[in-house]
Chains A and B, each alone.
Chain A
């Protein structure tokens, strides 16, 4: 059969096309990861060097380290609240925009603008908005004699501040994806529901939302992993403070590695984070495979 010979030839071609990508991924991405793993079993310190010892002492230390344990709680707070806010806001705006057609379509472009602002700039802009002496928010409320609390001086406040800044910068990502998904949902469904006597709000919750569910789940998971890697927002807005109230795990790994020179210990924290992200991406890949098959 010519078809089988052709497909065997195709397979060879495909394999050749895969070679550069596999090599590059191997060199640029996998090798440093293996290096990270290797470092985590040493006692390499930037000032003191490596004694030659190898062992699991870093991982033992992890679970005795109160700062590490509390960094996990902080990370989870930032991620859970951040993702919730982004998904709710992004979906709400997408649903609103989906209804807007014609002349006002350009509004879509405006809502995307924060997406274009680099994270460092996002952090600096919101830092200025949360600095009481500088912020127009404080100046505005001061006119009415209202004192806006300084968010960055309490743990709840500082976490809220980071969540707000993160939400501002990333809801457009959620919005874009939900918009795309909404376009795939037939408007007939809404009308059918309306005919049944359901209100639009009910129709949304009963029909649109369940259809959006797979999309929302994927977006939420993606965002969740991204939020685990928060760095510029914390580095610029709070430097981990007040006290250590916003030292999330990724930031704590930075502190140990770069401020305290404990490279090996920092690497073991990174390995922990990586395993955590690996578990979530395993779930995403599974869900994705299921959705692709369906």
Chain B
């Protein structure tokens, strides 16, 4: 059905205008922070068109010299390890939950959701009190365990729904052919659940990477993660906007390719997750 009337063209133009507005809303703040990252402090509070020539790489240099790169590394280590741990423990658990005939599934699914929903403020104090006793404050292990409390319920929940989409017959057929369960898992289930695995891995990494609160409370100088280290540029006397902009970009850059590449899988898997 091709409609070429003026009314249609107006509507189409309106549609594009709306989409462009949305695009501006999503991109302009990003462009702004990139510009901000290259403005010298003296030109910070002037409109850009009043000093169009004032640019500097000093902000980037000062970030490179600060503790921020170390904090980024800490973020990578802890978010990565926790995701790995959650996947190793969570994926088999999710598979069993999905395929096992049991009457307690509702309770399990509610419990998992509940854990994802729990407010970290209350959570973190008991964690802190225990960590102090056993010396886990400001250690990678302590932070990785704390993040696992976020990532594990998420991985189990989302892989559970992913495995639900794999027909039981497929697995049974494999087993009938005499293959071991491990082989079936490796050869049939994992490939079929790949979108779900990628999505669960990426989103759980994001969950830990994004964390501010746990790191604020249970790390000190050795293992501080990047989101908390950014706040060190906000001081009593001044806000180092240039450094903050650079740090924000540094925090985001590693995630962008991951998200853009995994976009497709996330869409597939989220579609499943919501429909069940």
Q: Which positions in A face B, CB cutoff 8 Å?
A: 6, 10-11, 13-15, 17-18, 20-22, 24-25, 28-36, 38-40, 89, 92-93, 96-97, 99-100, 107-121, 124-126, 128-129, 133-134, 136, 139-140, 142-143, 168, 171-172, 176-177, 179-181, 183-184, 191, 194-195, 200, 214-215, 218-219, 225, 228-229, 231-232, 235-236, 250, 253-254, 257, 263, 266-267, 269-271, 273-274, 277-278, 280-282, 284-286, 288-289, 291-292
Contact = CB atoms under 8 A, between A and B. Distances in A.
A144 to B, nearest CB: 12
B33 interface: yes
Interface footprint category on B: 35 or more
B191 interface: no
Nearest to B82: A28
Given A14-B99, A134-B44, A120 B227 contact: yes
Interface in B86-137: 89-90, 92-97, 99-101, 105-106, 109-127, 129-130
B26 A288 contact: no
A39 B25 CA distance: 44
Interface of B: 1, 11, 15, 18-19, 22-23, 25-27, 29-30, 32-33, 36, 44-48, 89-90, 92-97, 99-101, 105-106, 109-127, 129-130, 145-146, 148-149, 152-153, 156, 164, 175, 181, 209-210, 212-213, 226-228, 230-231, 234, 241, 244-245, 247-248, 251-252, 255-256, 258-260, 263, 266-268, 270-272, 274-276
15 contacts: A14-B96, A14-B100, A24-B89, A112-B263, A113-B30, A116-B258, A117-B255, A125-B32, A128-B244, A228-B117, A232-B212, A267-B122, A273-B122, A274-B122, A286-B106
A33 B47 contact: no
Contacts of B252: 116-118, 121
B18 to A, nearest CB: 7
Contacts of A30: 115
Nearest to A252: B121
Contacts of B23: 107, 110-111
Given A15-B100, A116-B259, A289-B106, A111 B210 contact: no
Contacts of A225: 116-117
A286 B152 CA distance: 21
